[in-house]
Amino acid sequence: MNYAENILGTIGNTPMVKMNALVKDLPCLVLAKYETFNPGNSVKDRMALQMVEDAEAAGVLKPGGTIIEGTSGNTGMGLALAAIIKGYKMICVISDKQSKEKMDILRAVGSEVVVCPTNVDPEDPRSYYSTSKRLAEETPNSWYVNQYDNPSNCKAHFNSTGPEIWDQTEGKVTHFVVGVGTGGTISGVGSYLKMKNPNVKVWGIDTYGSVFKKYKETGIFDENEIYPYITEGIGEDILPLNVNFSVIDGFTKVTDKDAAVYTRRLAKEEGMFLGNSAGSAIKGLLQLNEEGKFGPDDVVVVLFHDHGSRYVGKMFNDDWMRERGFLDQEYKVASDLIKN
Ligand code: PMP
C-alpha cells in the first residue's frame, strides 16, 4: 500500500510543467514549478511545516500551544494544516485587502482570523505586524511565527524546493524567476541553485508600491517607493531578513493591471488556474525577455505560488476588473484569439 501518514506527508514533490501559449515567442524553454499541488494549494505549506517543526525542536512551540502569525493567507493555511495534525490552536492576523476567499478558507481549517487595516504604517498599533506581535505577548503558551525574519522559511526552500527544481531539470536550469514577498522562496531556491551552479541567474518579481527593486539597485530604503497596491502576496514596505539580496541578480516590477490581466491569461490560454502573483511572475518573465535576458539554450524556471480559487471574487470577476479599469486588455486578448 502506498499512502501518506497524514496530510502533511503530501507536501512537496510538485510537478514541473512546460509553458506554451504565453511564451511562444521566447527563444528558450520555460518551465513552471507548479506549487498548487501542495495540500494547502500553495508553496507556503513547505515553509509552514518547516517553521513549526523547527520551533518544536527548539522548544518554543510546546504541546497545546497557540500558533500566531500575520499572514496574507497562504502561510496561514499551511500553519493551520500543521496545527490540526499536531494539535495546536491557530490565530491568523490578516490585512483587509486580502480576498474574502482566503479568510473563509482559513476559518474552514479551524483558524481564528483577526482582520487589520492595510494602509497604515507597519509601526502603527493597528497594523497586522503590530497586532500579531501584541496578540503573541497577550496569549499564554503562544508562539509568534514571524515568517519575514524566521530563517526556517528560507531553509524549507533550500532543502526542498531548490533540490526539486535542480533534479527535475537534470541540473540544466539557467534562470529562476519568482515573486518576492517574505523572500523565503527566492532566497532558499536561489542559494541552492547558485550553490549547484554559480552561473544560474535569479530574478525577483516586485510590485509598484514596494521597496525591493530600488533597494537592490541603489542600497537605499526609499520610503517614496511605498504606496498602496492591489497585487497580493508580493512586494513589501519593509526589508524582511529572509530576502537575501546577494543571491538575487535583479528585480523587475509588474503593474497591478498587468498582474491581473496575466493571471486571467494563464487560466484561459494555458489552462493554469492560478493566483495573482503567478500573473505577476509570468508578466515579469516576459518583461525580462524583452530586455534580452534569455537565449536559445536557456532553461527558465518560473515558480507559481498559489491557486486561482482564492481569487474568484477578484481578478476572475469581470465587475471587479471593470471597476479598476483593468478589463480593456481582456478584450484585446479575446480579439487576439479570434484573429489567430
Ligand atoms: N505569492 C503569493 C500568493 C504568496 O502568498 C507569497 C507569500 N507572501 C508570495 C508570492 C511570495 O513568496 P515569499 O514570501 O516566499 O517571497
Residue identifier of the C-alpha nearest atom 1 of ligand 1: 233
* C-alpha to C-alpha distance for 251 and 143, rounded to whole angstroms: 33
Enzyme catalytic residues: 44
For 263, the grid coordinates are 493571471
Question: Which H or E run includes 179?
Answer: strand 175-179
Q: Starting at the earlier edge strand, list the strands of the sheet with 299-304.
A: 16-18, 29-34, 299-304, 175-179, 201-207, 250-254
- Nearest-atom number in ligand 1 for the CA of 183 is 16
* C-alpha to C-alpha distance for 333 and 261, rounded to whole angstroms: 9
Residue identifier of the C-alpha nearest atom 9 of ligand 1: 233
Q: Residue 75: name the closest of 113, 97, 46 by CA.
A: 46
Residue identifier of the C-alpha nearest atom 3 of ligand 1: 233
**CA 154 to centroid of ligand 1, rounded, Å:** 12
- Nearest-atom number in ligand 1 for the CA of 243 is 16
Report the DSSP beta bridge partners of residue 143. 67
CB 122 within 8 A of CB 99: no
Report the DSSP beta bridge partners of residue 254. 207
Q: Starting at the earlier edge strand, list the strands of the sheet with 142-144.
A: 112-116, 89-95, 66-70, 142-144
Instruction: Specify the pLDDT at position 325.
Output: 95
Instruction: Specify the pLDDT at position 33.
Output: 98
- Nearest-atom number in ligand 1 for the CA of 47 is 15
Task: Report angle CA 27, 32, 38 to the nearest 5 degrees.
Answer: 175
CA-to-CA dists, residue 318 to 149, 198, 209, angstroms: 37, 44, 24
For 17, the grid coordinates are 510543467
Residue identifier of the C-alpha nearest atom 6 of ligand 1: 233
* C-alpha to C-alpha distance for 274 and 224, rounded to whole angstroms: 31
Question: Which H or E run includes 69?
Answer: strand 66-70
CB 316 within 8 A of CB 267: yes
For 294, the grid coordinates are 534569455
- Nearest-atom number in ligand 1 for the CA of 72 is 5
Would the pTM of this model clear 0.90, i.e. be above it? yes
Instruction: Specify the pLDDT at position 340.
Output: 46
- Residue found by looking up cell 534562470 in the block: 175
**CA 159 to centroid of ligand 1, rounded, Å:** 18
**CA 73 to centroid of ligand 1, rounded, Å:** 10
For 65, the grid coordinates are 500551544
Which residues line ligand 1 at a C-beta cut-off of 6 Å? Answer: 44, 72, 74, 179-186, 232-234, 275, 277, 305-306
For 137, the grid coordinates are 505577548
- Nearest-atom number in ligand 1 for the CA of 157 is 15
**CA 61 to centroid of ligand 1, rounded, Å:** 24
Taking only the tens of pLDDT, the chain with its 340 residues reads 999 999 999 999 999 999 999 999 999 999 999 999 999 999 999 999 999 999 999 999 999 999 999 887 899 999 999 999 999 999 999 888 777 878 899 999 999 999 999 888 888 999 888 898 899 999 999 999 999 999 999 999 999 999 999 999 999 999 999 999 999 999 999 999 999 999 999 999 999 999 999 999 999 999 999 999 999 999 999 999 999 999 999 999 999 999 999 999 999 999 999 999 999 999 999 999 999 999 999 999 999 999 999 899 999 999 999 999 999 755 555 556 555 4
Q: Residue 298: name the closest of 193, 201, 162, 173 by CA.
A: 173
Residue identifier of the C-alpha nearest atom 12 of ligand 1: 181
**CA 304 to centroid of ligand 1, rounded, Å:** 9
* C-alpha to C-alpha distance for 252 and 275, rounded to whole angstroms: 19
Residue identifier of the C-alpha nearest atom 11 of ligand 1: 181
**CA 181 to centroid of ligand 1, rounded, Å:** 5
**Ligand 1 pocket mutation pick from 234, 266, 311 by most atoms within 8 angstroms of CB:** 234
Q: Give per-residue burial for 9-24: e unless 16+ CB within 10 Å, then b.
A: ebbbebebeebeebbe
